[in-house]
Structure 1
Amino acid sequence: MKFSSALRLATVAAAALALQPAFADEGPLLVRVRVLHLDSANKDSTGLGLSINNKTFPEVDFSYFIAPNIAAELILTYPQKQTIYSNGTEIGSLKHLPPTLTLQYHFNPTGTVRPYVGAGVNYTNFSSVEFAPAVQTALHPSIKHNSWGAAWQIGADVEISKGTYLNFDVKKVDLQTTVYANGASAGKFKVNPTLASVGLGWRF
């Protein structure tokens, strides 16, 4: 009797394991290293013709699969230095640190090609803001150091070997700051970048 009960329990357990999604075999964590290109929209309402340079830099992200189709992704990099221009003339520089958190839906979580879409929030901290001496004397400029905005993404992971993926990803981020001159608001500078990246990912 005890052997029969144990056999039934083992059979049920085996059936339950067989029904587990394939992602459980891979593990819930996907770590990617990517090369990212920032293309700024450079929308300026100050009348100063402000812009920053486009830039390519590395980033790393961590995706945790809550369910086979659902993952949360945290995108990180180190502070990036950008040049500030006014009507094409260099007037200063700044650094920005832009961690982004998104919630993703993966359409084909066990296939070779695994497309996804995501939406979430970006937080950017501006630091090391410097202006040319002539600009500093004339305008005493400054900027708001924190920005919160929405983020959207579309991408795909392509399995190239077991647990290893080639990743393609494009994000659009709402990123802006208030510009001040002589202590008064002069308007908004909207970076609102498009971020295109390619890299490798490993599933654990």
Structure 2
Amino acid sequence: MQDKFIKTVIAATASMFAVAPAQAEQGDLLVRLRAIMVAPQETHSHVMPLGDGSRVKVSNDVVPELDFTYMWTNNIGTELILATSKHNISGFGAETTTARRLGKLASTYALPPTLILQYHFNPDGAFRPYVGAGVNYTIFYSRKPSKALEAAVGDTDVKLKNSFGYALQGGFDIPVGKRSFVNVDVKFIDMDSKARLTTAGAGVLRVNSHIDPVVVGIGYGLRF
């Protein structure tokens, strides 16, 4: 699925480099709608207090993203990114581990508003690359245990600690009209959480997670 998504990004932008640019200027507001793939690059501690090597993994998701960039100068802008994605939390490890046998343990939505300061290298050109760095605050909501987990250990309450971290970004815009452009964007988000599953039959299960997603997107934008 990831390979197909990346090929779509390349195919959609390869034919657009010859389009005449419309200059981006100080005071412009750039509004983009992107399709993004959120791909966690996670590492996790063992599920405690289980002593059998049980770990967890977090699934990818493809969702829409809306962002707004205000250009303070011709080169410097601030971008606010809004999106939400759903992720399954599943057990893995050796086939004999408890988490692996249970499979899907829980699901959650992540709402990660992100504010990034950008530098645009070529704001009046036909190819406009930029880089950025900023901060992210991720809110985990609609947390639910899986049916398999509750069937095995009874009623379960799922809690995940919200995350605050940094964000890095790189991308480019290509004009396709006076005020319209296409966009390709890649972000890395520093995202950590502590998960706590309070079960009726197995006590309290805990795991520390470094989720750290890479977010790859392609979109269409308008300049106001």
After TM superposition, the score normalised by the length of structure 1 is: 0.80
Query: What corresponds to 1:168 in structure 2?
Result: 184
For residues 129-170 of structure 1, give each alpha carbon's deviation from its aligned partner in whole angstroms, at most 9, with x where no partner exists.
111366453795643331111100000001111111110000
Q: Where do 4+ consecutive residues of structure 1 move more than 3 Å?
A: 132-145, 181-187
Query: What corresponds to 2:134 in structure 1?
Result: 120
For residues 6-36 of structure 1, give each alpha carbon's deviation from its aligned partner in whole angstroms, at most 9, with x where no partner exists.
xxxxxxxxxxxxxxxx544x85100001000
Query: What corresponds to 2:13 in structure 1?
Result: none
Alignment length, in residue pairs?
181
Distance 1:96 1:181 in 2: 17
Helix, strand or coil at the partner of 1:104: strand
Matched, 1:90 2:104: yes
Cα 1:119/1:76, change in 2 over 3 Å: same
Q: Letter of the 1:51 partner, please give it.
A: K
- Greater Rg by CA: 1
Structure 1 position 181, deviation (Å): 5.0
Structure 1: tracts of 5 or more residues without a match: 1-21
Structure 1 position 185, deviation (Å): 7.9
Matched, 1:75 2:81: yes
Distance 1:187 1:141 in 2: 14
Distance 2:219 2:119 in 1: 19
Q: Letter of the 2:131 partner, please give it.
A: V
Distance 1:76 1:185 in 2: 31
Distance 2:160 2:172 in 1: 35
After TM superposition, the score normalised by the length of structure 2 is: 0.73
Query: What corresponds to 1:28 in structure 2?
Result: 28
Contact 1:42 1:50 in 2 (8 A): no
Matched, 1:192 2:212: yes
